């Protein structure tokens, strides 16, 4: 790209780039193109380097946008790229790096320019920049559409046809990234885009026939997690005297231009710790999520979403006879492994949510796994480390738990899995605990964190709905988990009393307050707290009604804090759910009195176990709220802006790594801000 350019800072004054963006029309046959495309560089995979590159080339890109309607140099560059992609598959099979090298460089420049086009001009004007040559105004649209569709189809064809090798890794990465750039128009629009030429090319044009192959290839890229090859395998590894004139010319030009472009100006600089080990897997996943969330209407359904919703396991023979045009088969075991190994990333959690929510085949497979702890533990760790995670990541993790806990088989199986030494749980040393008890602990901790920090009503509701789903299947709850359930109720009770006191004081008139000062809506706050308290009582009641004899530790904790429940016995909002609790407290308190005074913990538990056997089952009214809360938790998955936030998130999250210079501002639509917090996480 420029003579002796070894630093990114020199790009703005690069003579080759200035000529490309200038006022001179460059013929397709001009030797300039070979010189422009004969450079080598270390692939950048982090946001800082991307931002440096964008800032350094912004002036050149804007100049090209200004001059291109007259010069059509951008169209010529696109045609050069399209012409060099025809032999790429053969070149890969023959290990011929020359065509791959220059085609990659051409696409890299196209992608960098497209980023600026997308951010600076509307889609209609972008179409004009894909016109072959000057035409009468009425034919601009058709010509632009043809050329744009040809580029998109070529990129799709490369993704599904080109084998993933060291020498093809970077051009595959650029192909995926360029599609993401084209689809990122949504970032700069206030309204959701429903009609788009780019969408039409992908969902109705020639690309439609490749839908299932695209989804399958992107999933396999995510599953494989291939690391980015070292710089030595990305450029020519050796040059011999018999390499040929063209090879000698290209490598000679490369040595005189960008021999190795390192974004920090130092050769082969080690990547930062925060860099992604597999950028192709990451970008493929982002592209898959964006494609699956494109406009979907009855008259024009999204084929990528249909494919996501219907693909099956390779071991499922019925998939062969599936009437769904976009159905395919994939190895669910490999997919499951990749999903739980990558759960620390936001986009992998979003993919898991999408598959569990939309693909019944994946959901059935996941719930049938005997090693469900491999998937659940990373999700619990995400919730536990709520201070370090993005709020949307936490929200998605919670929704996944809600989906899983709607199944009774899952709720039973988690209590059968025994874990040892959970190192990331810091509040208490857990040498041995069931997965179900750990799940209870983490969800309760999330509720307590939300009460003191974020105060999100829906997070409260969804956390308690997950516990309500599980409550009837609680088995052998760990003593610490039982204590935390009652401690959470104690915290809610204390908060209830405080708000009630404030409400009473406000009715008497606030002391020292101005006459026109606004009065807090204590009645609304009180209603919210009482709703949460009722859910907690229903959770405890559900456990006692269905599995009391399996949970002596919960009965012990209930008896130890029995005074907490006194104030709610006569409360009109809780009388129905307090009946069972009153009866259990009275029954076991009487048996403990009969057993004598100064009982040890072991003796108390023994009395509780004996009493659980003796307690007549018909005395407990089975007013479990499990069914009601299960329905409620399902609604939490599909309402409360849940999927709409997640959908908006999947549409915009890709724009952060592609446009790292953008920051949230008051002028941007609120929905854009959903993705802004991913800025520090995606890279």
> Coil, strand, or helix at residue 572?
coil
> Coil, strand, or helix at residue 638?
helix
CA triple 335-341-347, angle to 5 deg: 80
Which portions of the chain are predicted below pLDDT 70? 1-7, 9, 41-47, 132-146, 231-276, 318-324, 454, 509-520, 621-683
- What pLDDT is recorded for position 245? 32
DSSP line for 89-154 = HHHHHTT-HHHHHHHHHHHHHHHHHHHHHHHHS-HHHHHHTT-SS---GGGHHHHHHHHHHHHHHH
Extract the runs of DSSP E, i.e. beta strands, from 527-620. Answer: none
Q: Which two tokens stand for residue 202?
A: 């992908």
8 A C-beta contact, residue 53 and residue 109: no
Task: Cite the DSSP H helix spans in 371-421.
Answer: 373-384, 391-405, 408-413
- What pLDDT is recorded for position 6? 43
Q: How far apart are CA 480 and CA 219, in angstroms?
A: 40
8 A C-beta contact, residue 454 and residue 621: no
- What pLDDT is recorded for position 190? 77
- CA–chain centroid gap for 672, Å, is 15
CA triple 30-32-34, angle to 5 deg: 100
Longest dimension (CA), the chain: 101
Q: Which two tokens stand for residue 367?
A: 């719930």
- CA–chain centroid gap for 193, Å, is 21
Which of 334, 414, 335 is closest to 376 using CA atoms? 414
Q: How far apart are CA 148 and CA 131, in angstroms?
A: 9
Q: How many CB atoms lie within 10 A of CB 225?
A: 16
pLDDT digits (tens, 9 = 90+) for 71-129: 889 999 999 999 888 888 787 778 778 888 889 999 999 999 999 999 888 888 888 88
Q: How far apart are CA 665 and CA 668, in angstroms?
A: 6
SS3 for 193-248, per residue? CCCCHHHHHHHCCHHHHHHHHHHHHHHHHHHHCCCCCCHHHHCCCCCCCCCCHHHH
Residue 423 DSSP class: T
State the angle between helix axes of 169-183 and 97-120 in degrees (0 to 180), rounded to the nearest 10: 20
Which of 154, 71, 64 is closest to 109 using CA atoms? 64
- What pLDDT is recorded for position 232? 53
CA triple 461-462-468, angle to 5 deg: 90
Residue 654 DSSP class: T
- What pLDDT is recorded for position 128? 86
Model-wide pTM > 0.95: no
Q: How far apart are CA 130 and CA 149, in angstroms?
A: 10
Q: Tell whether the torsion through CA atoms of 606, 607, 609 and 613 is positive or negative.
A: positive
8 A C-beta contact, residue 71 and residue 42: no
Q: How far apart are CA 649 and CA 289, in angstroms?
A: 10
- What pLDDT is recorded for position 502? 84
Contacts of 373 (CB under 8 A, 6+ apart): 414, 417, 419, 435
Residue 184: Cβ-neighbour burial (10 angstroms; 0-12, 13-18, 19+): buried
């Amino acid at each position: 790209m420029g003579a002796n350019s070894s630093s990114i800072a020199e790009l703005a004054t690069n003579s080759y780039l200035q000529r490309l963006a200038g006022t001179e029309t460059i013929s397709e046959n001009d030797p300039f193109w070979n010189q422009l495309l004969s450079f080598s560089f270390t692939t950048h995979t982090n946001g800082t380097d991307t931002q440096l590159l964008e800032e350094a080339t912004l002036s050149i890109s804007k100049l090209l946008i200004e001059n291109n309607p007259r010069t059509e140099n951008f169209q010529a560059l696109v045609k050069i790229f399209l012409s060099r992609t025809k032999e790429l598959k053969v070149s890969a099979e023959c290990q011929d790096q020359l065509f791959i090298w220059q085609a990659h460089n051409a696409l890299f420049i196209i992608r960098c320019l497209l980023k600026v086009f997308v951010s600076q001009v509307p889609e209609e004007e972008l179409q004009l920049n894909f016109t072959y040559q000057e035409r009468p105004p009425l034919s601009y649209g058709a010509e632009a559409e043809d050329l744009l569709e040809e580029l998109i189809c070529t990129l799709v064809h490369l993704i599904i046809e080109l084998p993933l090798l060291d020498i093809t890794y970077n051009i595959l990465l650029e192909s995926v990234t360029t599609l993401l750039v084209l689809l990122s128009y949504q970032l700069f629009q206030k309204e959701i885009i429903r009609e788009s030429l780019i969408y039409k090319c992908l969902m109705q044009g020639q690309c439609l026939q490749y839908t299932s192959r695209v989804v399958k290839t992107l999933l396999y890229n995510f599953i494989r997690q291939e690391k980015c090859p070292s710089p030595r395998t990305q450029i020519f590894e050796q040059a011999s005297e018999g390499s040929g004139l063209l090879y000698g010319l290209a490598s000679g030009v490369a040595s005189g231009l960008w021999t190795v472009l390192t974004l920090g100006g130092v050769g082969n600089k080690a990547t930062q710790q925060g860099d992604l080990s597999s950028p192709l897997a990451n970008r493929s996943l982002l592209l898959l999520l964006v494609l699956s969330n494109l406009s979907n209407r009855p008259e024009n359904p999204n084929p990528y979403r249909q494919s996501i919703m219907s693909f099956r396991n390779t071991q499922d023979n019925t998939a062969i006879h599936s009437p769904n045009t976009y159905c395919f088969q994939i190895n669910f075991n490999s997919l499951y492994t990749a999903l739980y190994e990558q759960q620390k990333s936001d986009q992998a959690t979003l993919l898991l949510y999408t598959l569990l929510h939309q693909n019944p085949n994946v959901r059935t497979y996941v719930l049938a796994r005997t090693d469900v702890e491999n998937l659940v533990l990373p999700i619990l760790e995400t919730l536990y480390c709520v201070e370090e995670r993005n709020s949307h990541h936490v929200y998605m993790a919670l929704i996944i738990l809600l989906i899983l806990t709607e199944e009774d088989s899952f709720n039973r199986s988690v209590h059968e899995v025994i874990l040892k030494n959970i190192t990331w749980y810091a509040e208490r040393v857990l040498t041995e605990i069931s997965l179900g008890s750990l799940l209870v602990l983490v969800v309760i901790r999330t509720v307590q964190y939300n009460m003191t920090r974020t105060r999100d009503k829906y997070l409260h509701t969804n956390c308690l709905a997950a516990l309500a789903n599980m409550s009837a299947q609680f088995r052998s709850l760990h003593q610490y988990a039982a204590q935390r359930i009652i401690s959470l109720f104690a915290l809610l009770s204390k908060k209830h009393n405080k708000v009630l006191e404030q409400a009473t004081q406000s009715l008497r008139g606030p002391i020292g307050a101005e006459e026109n000062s606004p009065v807090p809506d204590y009645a609304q706050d009180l209603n919210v707290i009482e709703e949460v308290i009722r859910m907690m009582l229903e959770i405890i009641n559900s456990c006692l009604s269905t599995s009391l004899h399996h949970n002596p530790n919960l009965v012990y904790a209930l008896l130890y804090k029995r005074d907490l429940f006194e104030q709610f016995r006569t409360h009109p909002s809780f009388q129905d759910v307090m009946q069972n609790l009153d009866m259990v407290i009275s029954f076991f308190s009487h048996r403990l009195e009969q057993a004598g005074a100064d009982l040890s913990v072991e003796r108390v538990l023994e009395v509780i176990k004996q009493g659980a056997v003796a307690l007549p089952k018909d005395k407990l009214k089975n007013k479990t709220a499990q069914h009601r809360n299960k329905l409620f938790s399902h609604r939490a998955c599909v309402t409360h802006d849940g999927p709409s936030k997640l959908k908006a998130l999947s549409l915009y999250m890709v724009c952060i790594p592609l446009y790292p210079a953008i920051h949230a501002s008051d002028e941007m639509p609120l929905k854009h801000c959903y993705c802004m917090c991913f800025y520090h996480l995606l890279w």
